[in-house]
Amino acid sequence: MKPSVDVLEIVTCTLLILMSFVGNMCLFYATRKCMTGRLQTSFLLIFSLICVHLIKNLVVNVMKIVYSSGFMLDSAGCKVLHFTASLTTSLAIWFMLHFALLYHQKLYQTVHPLSEPANPDHQKYSLKVVSALWLAGVSVYLPVLLYTRKSEYLNAKNDTDPLSTNRIHMNCLINFGNKQVELYYGKVFLVLIDILPLAILVFFCVWMSFLLSERKKMTYGDIWIGDDDSEIEILRGAKFSILLTWLITPLWISHFILVYFLKDLAVCVFFPAVLTALSSGFSALSPFLLMLVNYKMKLVSFCSAREEKPTPQPANVILSPYA
């Protein structure tokens, strides 16, 4: 007996919601515990990603469960679903790009120190940048909220075609009413605002890989000097950016290909569950990957560099010039 389309999608959504909620709550607790003093840029970006992940799962996937359970969504429900799903996907990419650029800059300054010290105060700009990204995301997807409607085309087929029932990606459609608007906004602009940041993200993460390789070979007069807390933060933050880039990019590309180029697969029983896993996989897996990179679940790399009290030295001990 083949599994039902609705059951598969409900099980997939439920697993993703549980994974995302547990992972992001643990990540929030660990990050909040690390905070000392004012809010750092890396903390703010992590909190923003947590909000995006929870909104995607607690709104989009919960609505998919309700829809797959037999409760039909009206036009307002379709609007909220499409708007929230598209907005959270783009914001996750944009915040990841901001995060990668931040640690690329820090890593580059570590490998190639400037003759003059750079201004390390990014906090006064971080809140403005993050707020601007939220505002830009909402503004970009307002037409999606306005033009999404509930399809009436499939209602006549629902009684005869069991595979077409409760297919949220088929019943909730975006109708712009104008072919030029649909082409330039729906098929060009909305794709570019995701794929261009992804391409930039991949480029900078490849660059960070070379910088990490160069950093590994660095010595100071043939003497290796150990990393301090701030350098450990930079190295782990860069590695985390690279790891998540190789996660979010294949997921987005796979989802894009299935939606735009392989629509014939809509008749497959597993198609809705696969689409859901691809669209929400990053929000469910990324918190655990962050805590895996920063083992012991203490977010060592994102904690502020803690000042250690100097060890008292006896009066008759001559200190080394390298101490």
- 126, part of any domain: no
Give which of 29, 13, 31, 40 is closest to 230, Cα–Cα: 40
Q: What is the pLDDT of residues 207-216, one digit of tens each?
A: 999 998 888 7
How many domains are contained in the chain? 1
- 40, part of any domain: yes
pTM over 0.75: yes
- 79, part of any domain: yes
- 81, part of any domain: yes
pLDDT at 220 over 80: no
Share of the chain above pLDDT 90, in %: 34
- 224, part of any domain: no
Of residues 170 and 195, which shows the higher confidence score?
A: 195
Computed from CA positions of residues 92, 97, 100, 106, in that sequence, does the dihedral angle turn out positive or negative? Answer: negative
Full residue range of the structural domain in which residue 250 is found: 5-113+140-219+238-302
How would residue 59 be classed by pLDDT, with cut points 50, 70 and 90? very high
The answer to whether residues 201 and 247 touch, using CB atoms and an 8 Å cutoff, is no
- 309, part of any domain: no
Q: What is the CATH number of the domain that holds 293?
A: 1.20.1070.10
DSSP labels, 91-128: HHHHHHHHHHHHHHHHHHHHHS--SS------HHHHHH
- 128, part of any domain: no
pLDDT at 317: 44
- 48, part of any domain: yes
Work out the number of other CB atoms within 10 angstroms of the CB of residue 41.
20
Side chain identity at residue 194, one-letter code: D
Give which of 137, 109, 147 is closest to 52, Cα–Cα: 137
Structure tokens at 153: 């085309």
Q: How many residues does the chain have?
A: 323
pLDDT at 79: 85
Work out the number of other CB atoms within 10 angstroms of the CB of residue 29.
12
